[in-house]
Amino acid sequence: MSVIDLRSDTVTKPTPAMRKAMAEAVVDDDVIDVDPTVAELQEKTARMLGKEAALFMPSGTMTNQIAVRIHCQPGDEFLCEEGCHIYNYEQAGFAQLSGVAARPVRGVEALLELDQVRELIRPENEHLARTRMICLEITHNRGAGRIPSYESVLEICAWARSHGLATHLDGARLWNAAVATGVSLADWSQHFDTVSVCYSKGLGAPVGSALAGSREQMALARRHRKLFGGGMRQAGIIAAGALYAIENHLDRLTEDHATARILAEAVARIPGLKLTPEQVDTNIVIFEVDPQLGTAAELTAALAEAGVRVLAFSQRQVRAVTHLEISPEQAEQAGMALQAAAESLQNRH
């Protein structure tokens, strides 16, 4: 039985052409000096994001945590949406590694609006943490891949700048937002001091993320990367996979968005399941399981028996993510398996 793996867009395997590019990559020691393939990837990424420089790192967690370290000092705090990756899925690294606090805010369907943060900058007072940065996430993972309006991002970043706050964008799936909206990567990025992007999600590379910003910031980031253990030697082998991905897999993200809509339409037709939110902007579908059917874990287990793999996102929520290995036909098959699993649970309960 073939498996339809919708757990994440990180589960993809390198394509034959990507493997060939990786095998043939020109490499050198990127810690002692510079790896030429890494350098090419960094320069291309910086150009795409409209930044002076970029730095290749093993993971998006590292790029986010180094951004915190660049912008904040111990005892500072940053503002973020309460469901964001940097707050939920990085072991509070900002506190462990940099002595920084987070101040989470519940967004509207996971998206922050200016009125929600406008009054949250703490006054200068020796008793208080210093508010130094705001972090946004585009697209929003726990928000089912939602994309904030461009106008709201502009407003928040302009407000932050006028109050001396740094701005960081966790743009792990910024590629998806650019393709879905037609707003360029550089246009999204121009409002932020630093931007992180991930090559190993929708683009299908096996490893790696990058942090982009000014040359001065990236020189500091390189120093912090060494401290965090992220310096890599002949890293051109994996950088070649990322380089191939941004050159060949960017435009095709529209296909993932289309397969996600096929799956979402199937979910909407199944009694006992509810899309949360109903709007599917990109390649992530999240839905709630009615208690009468059982739990998200029970539904996930039933789907696994049918060869469809998804994630139980909470006790009631399930997440499915489309990617370059999921065809429209497979999305339809997953929808049918989901309906059968829901009916089976309904009969069981």
Q: Is 116 exposed, middle or buried (0-12, 13-18, 19+ CB in 10 A)?
A: middle
Ranges of the chain with pLDDT below 50:
none
Q: Residue 48's pLDDT is what?
A: 98
Start-to-end Cα distance in the chain? 27
Retrieve residue 265's tokens. 């339409």
Q: Taken in order 175, 177, 179, 185, is the CA torsion positive or negative?
A: negative
Q: Which CATH architecture has domain 16-248?
A: 3-Layer(aba) Sandwich (3.40)
CA–CA gap between residue 38 and residue 17 (Å, rounded): 18
Q: Is the pTM for the entire model greater than 0.85? A: yes
Omega of the bond leading into 131 within 30 degrees of 0 (cis)? no
> What phi and psi values does residue 57 have, to the nearest 5 degrees?
-140, 165
Pairing of β 284-289 and β 273-275: antiparallel
- Distance, CA of 14 to chain centre: 19
CA–CA gap between residue 109 and residue 275 (Å, rounded): 12
Pairing of β 130-137 and β 166-171: parallel
Which runs of E-coded beta strand occur in 22-100?
53-57, 76-81
CATH topology of domain 252-348: Aspartate Aminotransferase, domain 1 (3.90.1150)
* 187-214 pLDDT tens trace: 999 999 999 999 999 999 999 999 999 9
Extents of the domains making up the chain: 16-248, 252-348
